[in-house]
A = this chain, B = another copy of it.
Amino acid sequence: MRNEIEKITISDIARELNITAATVSRALNDHPGIRDSTKRAVKETARKLNYQPNKIASSLRLGRSKIIGVIIPSAEINFFGSVVHGIEKVANENNYSVLIYQSNEHIEFEKKGVKTFLQSRVDGVLASISKETINLDHYREIINRGVPLVLFDRGNDQLGVSSVLVDDYAGAFEATRHLIMQGCKRIAHIGGQQHVGIFNQRLKGYVDALNVHGIGVDDDLILYGKVSIDSGRDCMQHLLSISSRPDAVFAVEDFTAVGAIQAMKAANIRIPEDIAIVGFANETFGEFITPSLSTVNQQTTVMGESAARIFFEAMKTNAYYKDGPRKLILEPKLIVRQSSMKIKKGIL
């Protein structure tokens, strides 16, 4: 019992030096926010009082867990898999581990993921917000605790944290422009849910590309789908039924494009001769379906690497929430494959 009674705590050191216990903790843990002179004083006092740190408690409460928590809507979408690989690459360079939590696009799961990561004392959270999420309080809880939060792909300005996004507007503009350059005149768009920012941006890029090139926008050629193979098939069947058929389709993403291709094949439409098509997101399957699918590469690995780098800079400076948030916008890249290559590549 004697040892326990006489045990010197951080509070004793704090009282001795007339500073807070938190400052003592940070000084003992070589926190970069503490002046060197303070660190020296704390360490000398600790020695003098024969302070024995409680190693378990200190690693739990003050030290770093060396874990990054990543919240993704779904690991089944290749896009997020690649982003995670980018994060893992930078995490490994810094000797950090990456734990993944899937929200499956549900806010209740997302909340649970945040809680679990905070409980696991991750050093930072990198997240892509679920489509269902409107109330952001669980993300504010991360910020309140001073844990760096970096958003990727799907940002939200209300949170005032750094984010790494891709320029969906520019990607859609480029995809549509490419179809125009291939000689297409009636370019349809199968879009996604318009309350999702990235899908709305892709619609805008499509519309502006048409306008810039003097091709009028035809409302009959714009359909709003549900971002799935089935929905792509249904929308394409509708486009094939109208009197003045399109000669090209810009699909909001690759699954929609695959459904559209299925509908065209069923109707014996030649791709790209009769109707050309471009998707978005560069899912793995795009290069080995027939015809191979032109699409937009969103630089997923770079996105993950960039988000992780922002986190590690925050770890160094320890002033993440003092500096203003940064927004990094990556340029997507068009990948031209068989599904839209009406003119030989050399001519482009």
Contact call A288/B100, Cβ cutoff below 8 A: no
Q: Are A100 and B97 in contact (CB under 8 A)?
A: no
Question: Is B290's CB under 8 angstroms from A265's CB?
Answer: yes
B119 x A67 contact (CB < 8 A): yes
Asked if A134 lies at the interface with its beta carbon under 8 angstroms from chain B, I say no
Q: Report the separation of the CA atoms of residues A60 and B57 in the bound assembly, to the nearest whole angstrom.
A: 10
**A4 CB contacts on chain B under 8 angstroms:** 9, 11
**Contact string against B for A residues 319-336, beta-carbon threshold 8 Å, 1 for contact and 0 otherwise:** 000000000000000000
Q: Inside 8 A of A289's CB, which chain B residues have their CB?
A: 285, 288-290
Count residues on chain A whose CB falls below 8 Å from chain B CBs: 46
Contact partner of A100 (CB less than 8 A), chosen from B57, B85, B102, B261, is B102
Quote the shortest CB–CB distance from A338 to chain B (angstroms): 12
A84-124 Cβ-contact flags toward B at 8 Å (1 or 0): 11001000100001111110100001001101100111000
**Within 8 Å of chain B (Cβ to Cβ): is A297?**
no
The answer for the CA separation of A192 and B262 in the assembled complex, in Å, is 31
List which A1-53 residues lie within 8 A (CB) of chain B.
1, 4-5, 9, 11-12
Of chain B, the residue at the smallest CB distance from A286 is B285
A318 at the interface (CB under 8 A from B): no
**A78 proximal to B (CB < 8 A):** yes
Most buried by B among A57, A65, A78, A112: A112
Q: What residues on B are CB-neighbors of A69 within 8 Å?
A: 99
Chain B residue numbers with a CB within 8 Å of A81 are 74-76
A97 to B99 alpha-carbon distance, docked (Å): 12
- Cβ–Cβ < 8 Å partners of A76 in chain B: 78, 81-82, 85, 284
Is the Cβ of A100 less than 8 Å from the Cβ of B75?
Answer: yes
Closest chain-B Cβ to A118's Cβ sits at a distance in Å of 11
Residue among A60, A74, A99, A109 with the most chain B CB within 10 A?
A99
Chain B residues with CB under 8 A of A97: 101, 112-113, 115-116
10 extra interchain contacts, Cβ-Cβ under 8 A, other than A67-B116, A67-B120?
A4-B11, A57-B57, A69-B99, A85-B104, A97-B112, A97-B115, A99-B99, A100-B102, A120-B121, A289-B290
Binding site for B on A (CB under 8 A): 1, 4-5, 9, 11-12, 57, 60, 65, 67, 69, 74-76, 78, 81-82, 84-85, 88, 92, 97-102, 104, 109, 112-113, 115-116, 119-121, 229, 258, 261-262, 265, 284-285, 288-290
Listed by A's residue number, 10 A-B pairs whose Cβ atoms lie within 8 Å are: A65-B119, A74-B81, A75-B81, A85-B104, A88-B104, A92-B109, A97-B101, A99-B99, A99-B116, A99-B120
